[in-house]
Structure 1
């Protein structure tokens, strides 16, 4: 007769109503229907944007632009993935964000910007002012709104994966990276076509100048703008559900800031000969440094949350006593994965990685529950995470115990409570307890004395 596994006692709930999610009421509410519809939308928009860009740049320009525009993409994706190491989101969210930025958002931006610029040109009969107005006013509004749509969709439909500022920054940054990728193909391909017509080659070409400005100097420009929108959604995720006005106004404020920064960046060329470099040095670089500090500080706060929330589950028996410390240290986590990979191979390392991710999600969930920000499925979600940890404990716990021993702080050297030789008193050569006043090492070793020779009375 099969028996149920000996699960530990359940820790007291910090708050949040119990309840479970009901199944979909209609067929169009099923998950696979949404996936199919979204995949079809992204695929169609990708084909359309591919045709539009190729039409404007030509086949050769498109290939050159594609080869140059792809260079910063792995670095930016790796940077955002590094920021998300504490509680890494699923790759499907990142793939969706990049695809939305590269396909859907880029298509919306190209169509809307072209239509708006032509309408302004017709209304004002001034092509130069129409281009300036389109770049500084229309483009920031259209492009940032199109990119923000991806963050909004993940916020609404992947709420479990969207828990704070870092998640908002990562989703927004990856979306903007995809958008910049497509836009760079268009700009670089067009520049290459210009060089083909004028016969320019080498460092003085338009392609080289465009590559230097867009890929070398400012690959983070679009991610920097959209990250402000992501921060707004991240703050909304941290807000209680009852504060609906705040959950709407904060993301909207982030979107408006992103539009304003984008407008200043696009308008830098109108500020004079050195306007671009002035805006870059006085505005973009400090903003980039400030946002980088904010994200890293937020990540450290997440690690502190893990160390503070998980001991409740260690007391209940779900975790070992050392696990909250290990899971709250990135170095200890890495050592645990390395240990598992060395002794159990890739499957074991993958189990430990999943264990760390589930434990971190559990800590964040309990933190929201303690602050009254848990959703209706708090109890169900907590049980799911605990059982996922319990399934992987046999593989993960030895690795985590090793990491705890390897990263434990060394015990400080403490002086003995009794005084050293020579400090017992001043009663001649000996102290109070009859010990010599000088250390024993001050005396000559026994081998330095002459050997004892018995007395021989017959010896003259």
Structure 2
């Protein structure tokens, strides 16, 4: 075949269309636009209700103070999760949905369910103190983690192509929990401010507001994301499990992650019952080490994705779909950044968009091929691979020059793939096009 194949080789029918050309029309409630509108309406309604409930509990002044303080860690946490997702960044709509679900729907479910359960226990036992303790250590972890896990489940089911691995699960779960913690912090900080107002305590380090801010925003802004990330890891492992292998495992893994998140949440909430310094002991000996371990795991998984890009894409160089320096450039975050800067400088916004999308599609292609090599690809492997190659080919005009520049800038003599064609799984032939 020619160094770069004539493209597209087939013009007879659209990719993925049955030979007859008949495309089944989804029923009106199955259309994406209808689902999106219904979901947006649900989140907007939940947001309005939770706003009214929090304002009723804290008062207008307390609500504004709580809002101003609670928003401080949000940009840092969202930026951290987006940074983690740099190799194959998910669309912003998923990030917005996850945050909105956590801040509105999950928070509303938690506030209503927790209040109802605590009042019911207090009435049944005639012991408000034990009801509060049981609500915090048993009811709240179950309700809150289940409500947050619903967002991860929705993305897993309805945005499956955006949910390709453990990193995606960590990001969606973490952003959802960040939204939930944001609303919860408004409530706690607003109530703390109201307590200071009643007691006549002015603003200062001795105030309840300052203590609440220190514990929830300074010491443990990562607490809720840390719990829910365990659920995201369960869904992420299920995402890379072959559909035709281990159906039970694909169900049990997310459930195991959810139960672990509930257990960790309950342990954290119950730390105040372990004595005067129980909270700080649990924080230092448990929360911080687990946070460090999960951070290492997330960074390790991101580096493994970059390695997969460098190892899997040379097969497409041999087939003529990619230029020789591209696997190296696409497997380096520094080279990717330089390619985007080059495109933006010489081609403007259109070129920047094309190169950014090229990097994302190439990463998806490499991860898809890696799953295929390990027997974990679904039945739509060939169709999905062809879609990604089509997307790359249509953006190569801007991307190839930018990536070639980036490869030369990072390593003056970039490695050229000169070996024999890389043979993939038995069902895969890199020269079939």
With normalisation by structure 2, the TM-score equals: 0.90
- Which residue does 1:6 correspond to in 2? 6
Structure number with larger C-alpha Rg = 1
- Which residue does 1:134 correspond to in 2? 135
- Which residue does 1:212 correspond to in 2? 214
- Which of 273, 277, 283 is residue 274 of structure 1 equivalent to? 277
- How far the C-alpha of 1:24 sits from its partner, in A, is 4.2
- How far the C-alpha of 1:49 sits from its partner, in A, is 0.4
Distance 1:111 1:323, change over 3 A: same
Computed over aligned residues only, the root mean square deviation of the Cα atoms, in angstroms, reads 1.7
CA distance in 2, matches of 1:369, 1:33: 34
- How far the C-alpha of 1:9 sits from its partner, in A, is 7.8
- How far the C-alpha of 1:8 sits from its partner, in A, is 7.7
- How far the C-alpha of 1:89 sits from its partner, in A, is 0.3
- How far the C-alpha of 1:409 sits from its partner, in A, is 6.1
CA distance in 1, matches of 2:273, 2:121: 19
Q: Is the 8 A contact 2:71 2:182 kept in 1?
A: yes
- Which of 290, 298, 318 is residue 293 of structure 2 equivalent to? 290
Query: What are the residue-to-residue correspondences of 1:302-381 with 2, within 5 Å?
Result: 302-381=305-384
Query: What are the residue-to-residue correspondences of 1:40-119 with 2, within 5 Å?
Result: 40-119=41-120
- Which residue does 1:151 correspond to in 2? 152
Q: Is the 8 A contact 1:19 1:380 kept in 2?
A: no
CA distance in 1, matches of 2:190, 2:315: 57
Q: Is the 8 A contact 2:107 2:180 kept in 1?
A: yes
Query: What are the residue-to-residue correspondences of 1:187-206 with 2, within 5 Å?
Result: 187-201=188-202, 202-206=204-208
The CA deviation string for residues 229-279 of structure 1, in whole angstroms up to 9 with x for no partner, is 000000000111121100011111111110011001100111111011000
CA distance in 2, matches of 1:87, 1:59: 42
CA distance in 1, matches of 2:269, 2:194: 23
Query: What are the residue-to-residue correspondences of 1:403-442 with 2, within 5 Å?
Result: 403-408=406-411
Q: Is the 8 A contact 2:340 2:355 kept in 1?
A: yes
- How far the C-alpha of 1:22 sits from its partner, in A, is 5.6
Q: Is the 8 A contact 2:242 2:378 kept in 1?
A: no
Q: Is the 8 A contact 1:9 1:317 kept in 2?
A: no
CA distance in 2, matches of 1:196, 1:265: 29
Q: Is the 8 A contact 1:24 1:30 kept in 2?
A: no
- How far the C-alpha of 1:185 sits from its partner, in A, is 0.4
Structure 2 unaligned blocks of 5 or more: 11-15, 415-433
Deviates more, 1:342-351 or 1:149-158: 342-351
Q: Is the 8 A contact 2:326 2:407 kept in 1?
A: yes
Q: Is the 8 A contact 1:19 1:378 kept in 2?
A: no
The CA deviation string for residues 161-192 of structure 1, in whole angstroms up to 9 with x for no partner, is 00000000000000000000000000000111
CA distance in 2, matches of 1:144, 1:38: 20
With normalisation by structure 1, the TM-score equals: 0.84
- Which residue does 2:424 correspond to in 1? none
- How far the C-alpha of 1:207 sits from its partner, in A, is 0.5
The CA deviation string for residues 195-249 of structure 1, in whole angstroms up to 9 with x for no partner, is 1100112111110000000000000000000000000000000111121100011
CA distance in 1, matches of 2:276, 2:9: 70
Distance 1:333 1:117, change over 3 A: same
The CA deviation string for residues 14-71 of structure 1, in whole angstroms up to 9 with x for no partner, is xxxx887964431111111101111111111111100100000011111110000000
- Which residue does 2:417 correspond to in 1? none
Paired residues, what number? 400
Structure 1 unaligned blocks of 5 or more: 11-17, 412-460
